[in-house]
Structure 1
């Protein structure tokens, strides 16, 4: 599968580009790429503006539909992926528990999407997407819809229930994201 780091967010609440912030001496972007590499022979960074990421050890891909949010980033990733499956991870999710990824990968057969549930809600920014999702995502974006889970009704979704991933990641670190500078300071 191909690893995908979505790095096109505006970081409005954070106040500056989160992907470039260092956590334990490593930029969040680089940390995300490194976290995906054990499972992904290729890693893509998808963003509207690629210039800040030229030093990344990944293939940089500009959003084909700029300013369409994460759904546009997933569309771009699927278009440029050399493999049928992409493992999508938001750049502001600094942790990854390997056993969660392994469990998700096991759930791929017979599915178009593998997505964890946390507190009853989908975690679409840490999920697996198959290239079969492309037409549905494109149709949503053409209608001006940007909510990722809207296309889940038209495909085969394998949901990793919380009672299955929680024993692997008791603190839910895989799904922790950073939206504000205060949240970032708390995890330092």
Structure 2
């Protein structure tokens, strides 16, 4: 069982994201093929009430203004399942087979598996263990907001040249 976590960081991004509600619905539809639980984490949840069905958990970023790391902390802290598929809310197209590969890699002894496409890491498209919340909180307390800092505190592996979405072209 796996939790799907859609990260919508910041009030401005929430507003822009909601203007593209079909993206959100597409993400949820795709994530439901693999995830038993879907969570949307955002700084301003109220506008999302009108577009999310009752099967999606909506949680508030508990440390607003602390960036995506705060959203991950909130999501990991409240995730029902150990495996958490993280998705950036700005990325409307997802590839379940890539996530299955990442999940297999994570389960082979890592705290997270992160996709790498053309030598670029995409930590907001990885699969994490919810226990990473315990590593994120001390960083947030120090004022750290970047997800990349979390990677320095956990055991992770990259998976090279996975297709993040159906339209991705990977050499």
Sort the TM-score into its range (normalised by shorter chain): 0.7 to 0.9
Q: 2:27 aligned with 1:28, yes or no?
A: no
Structure 2 residue 154 is matched with structure 1 residue 155:
yes
TM superposition score normalised by structure 1: 0.79
Which structure 1 residue ranges, 4+ long, deviate > 6 Å from structure 2? none
Q: 95, 106, 109: which is aligned to 1:108?
A: 106
Q: What does the per-residue CA deviation read over 1:25-50, in whole Å, with 9 as the maximum and x for residues that have no partner?
A: x5222222112111111101101111
Does the CA-based 8 Å contact 1:90-1:125 persist in structure 2? yes
Q: 8 Å contact 1:88–1:128 — kept in the other structure?
A: yes
2:57, 2:143 → 1: CA distance?
28
Gaps of 5+ in 2: none
Asked whether the 8 Å contact 2:85–2:128 carries over to 1, the reply is yes
- Answer whether contact 2:40 2:57 (CA < 8 A) is retained: yes
8 Å Cα contact 1:96-1:173 kept in structure 2: no
Q: Distance in 2 between matches of 1:143 and 1:152?
A: 16
- Superposition CA RMSD, Å: 2.2
Which has the larger Rg?
A: 1
How many residues in Structure 1 have an aligned counterpart in Structure 2?
165
Q: Match of 1:56?
A: 52
- TM-score by structure 2 length? 0.87
Aligned to 1:7: 8
